[in-house]
Amino acid sequence: MNESIYVISVGFMLIFLGGLTFHRMTSKRTPEGARALLRPSGRLALMGVLLTAAYVFSLPGVYHVLEAIVPISNGTDFIAKCCAMTAVGVLGVHLAVAYGSETATTWIIGKRGLLVGVIAASGVLFTLLVADTPEASPRLEMYQGQRAVELNEWIVLAYTAYVLAPLLLPLLRDGRRNPLRLGRLASRLIFAGFIFSIARALAYPLELHAGPEAFYIFELVTHVSTACVVLGLWVFAIARRHRLARKTLDIGLSIK
């Protein structure tokens, strides 16, 4: 039952993220070349590609195919987690710039932020190498009882919380003060998604003691968090699509 819930939620996220990313990448307004990443729409497209890749790589069929290629056992899990962490970083930078938060921008991509990112990626790789994972297992589900695997998962959650935490105050402020109703709704949706992600990182010790059956439930929390964030960005896109007065929308967010 729990596994079915997970498969359904992952399927929904693949359709949701994949569809939005395809729309963004095929839009006539999408700038060409590497310059696309310098624009908000380009950063959001990159985030969609990375998140979609992370979900696809975790699907059992895809996972086992890639395992025949990667040089280390369960190296596909490392690739998927790196895609997810990079997507979180790109989203964090995008929102920090959009909300005009220099503190969050420095926190995420300043020297400290880059160092934290390198340490997180190195930690995920190191814990994977020291763990005993001889057989391919998406999300390392078969090895959840190992300390190294538990630490591996926590590092990803902790890095996500690190990136999202400095954005909570700007989101909360905009959710209350934005003069546009859709703007307030979008910020509140993104804020809710961030709270879910940070809460999971803080509650990880409880997740470990809850037993293996709780794994899918906590994974579902992550999917709900992602959906809230993407929906929030989509609401901003709706505001832009209907050409609402830009002066009333005090931040420039759009996935269109």
Q: What is the pLDDT of residues 105-139, one digit of tens each?
A: 999 988 899 899 999 999 999 999 999 999 999 98
| Domains, the chain | 2-248 (1.20.1070)
Give exposure, 168-185, as e/b (b: 16+ Cβ within 10 Å).
eebbeebbeebebebbbb
pLDDT class of 26 with cuts at 50, 70, 90? very low
3-state secondary structure of 243: coil
> CA–CA distance from 171 to each of 96, 105, 190, 210 (Å)?
10, 14, 7, 32
Q: Give the integer Cα–Cα distance in Å for 25 and 14.
A: 16
Residue-averaged pLDDT of the chain? 80
Residue 95 contacts residue 104 (beta carbons within 8 Å): yes
Give the residue-averaged pLDDT of 58-78. 92
Q: Is the dihedral of CA 55, 58, 64, 69 positive or negative?
A: positive
Please spell the DSSP secondary structure of 50-70, one letter per residue: HHHHHHHHTSHHHHHHHHTTS
Q: What is the pLDDT of residues 5-16, one digit of tens each?
A: 444 455 455 545
Residue 45 contacts residue 96 (beta carbons within 8 Å): no
Q: Give the integer Cα–Cα distance in Å for 156 and 117.
A: 10
Any idea what the Cα angle at residue 129 is, between residues 80 and 222, rounded to 5°? 35
Among 226, 38, 219, smallest CA distance to 138 is for: 219
H/E run at residue 186 = helix 181-202
CB neighbours of 66 closer than 8 A, spacing ≥ 6? 57, 76, 79
H/E run at residue 196 = helix 181-202
Q: What is the pLDDT of residue 37?
A: 43
pLDDT class of 179 with cuts at 50, 70, 90? confident
Dihedral angle of Cα 246, 250, 255, 256, to the nearest 10 degrees: 0
Q: Check residue 211 and report its DSSP letter.
A: -
Q: What is the pLDDT of residue 140?
A: 92
Q: Give the integer Cα–Cα distance in Å for 22 and 237.
A: 15
Q: Rounded to two decimals, what is the model's pTM? A: 0.81
* Residue 154 CB neighbour total at 10 angstroms: 17
Q: Check residue 253 and report its DSSP letter.
A: -
